Amino acid sequence: MAELVFFTGPMDCGKSTLALQMDYTQSAHDRQGELFTCHDRSGHAVITSRIGLSSAATEVGEQFDFFDHVVSGLTAGRRIDYVICDEAQFYSPDQIDQLARVCDELDIDVLCFGILADFRTELFPGSRRLVELADRMETLQVRPLCWCGARATHNARTLDGVMVTEGSQVVVGDTAGTQPAHVVQYEVLCRKHHRLKMSKHVAMATLSPDVLPFEEDV
């Protein structure tokens, strides 16, 4: 019986890597599927992982209808055993409902990957709907770390290295610190330092290096 599964966790916990691994595992067992993404970090219709893996995918725009798309594919003679949906937090609640319909009415496994909450600690609408509808939800076991060394659980948006808590919910930014400082960037923090709005940049500027567990990249 097909399932709607939501794999979730904060940034840097390996969601896209797992999505690509799941596609590889499924296809290795003679199953055929389709990959979807929305606002991938690369800026293209592709699922990319920070460890260098990537695969072409269908971009999910505001007007995209999953059920119509899959039915059209099946009608055209394509075999679809599963669908993998990366960056599912950016999907609309209606699109999540469409995915549930794909699972229930077409008996196709739907595997969704995304983060729960935004930089303001508010649930994304797509993620909230997945929590409401998914047959099961799995939290990824790879645990990213805050700059202090504690488990990171919250996503933070920074500008000029300073954490911000206002702005549009969806802004694609850099997570590797390779962009100019004035470009929006993201990092993961523990709850304490997210609450204190203390990003790594602020910590390096205000705390003694002796209390920091990690060295700043040169």
pLDDT tens figures, 2-57:
999 999 988 888 899 999 999 999 999 999 999 999 988 777 889 988 888 889 99
**Contact in structure between 143 and 13 (CB atoms under 8 Å):** yes
Mean pLDDT of the chain: 88
**pLDDT surpasses 50 at 191:** yes
- 64 or 202, greater pLDDT: 64
Instruction: Annotate 176-199 with b (16+ C-beta within 10 A) or e (fewer).
Output: eeeeeeeebbbbbbbeebbeeebb
pTM of the model: 0.81
Domain boundaries, the chain: 4-139, 154-206
Q: Is 87 labeled as catalytic in the residue annotation?
A: yes
Residue corresponding to tokens 């993961």: 188
Q: What percent of the chain has pLDDT over 90?
A: 64
**pLDDT surpasses 60 at 179:** no
Catalytic residue among 3, 34, 62, 87: 87
- 110 or 166, greater pLDDT: 110
- 141 or 3, greater pLDDT: 3
Q: Where does residue 170 rank: exposed (0-12), middle (13-18), buried (19+ CB within 10 A)?
A: exposed
- Name the strand (E) or helix (H) holding 58: strand 58-59
Per-residue pLDDT band for 174 (boundaries 50, 70, 90) equals low
Per-residue pLDDT band for 218 (boundaries 50, 70, 90) equals very low
Angle CA 113–8–61, to nearest 5: 35
**Contact in structure between 171 and 41 (CB atoms under 8 Å):** no
As assigned by CATH, the class of the 4-139 domain is alpha beta
Of the listed ranges 40-44, 53-57, 68-72, 76-80, the one predicted with least confidence: 40-44
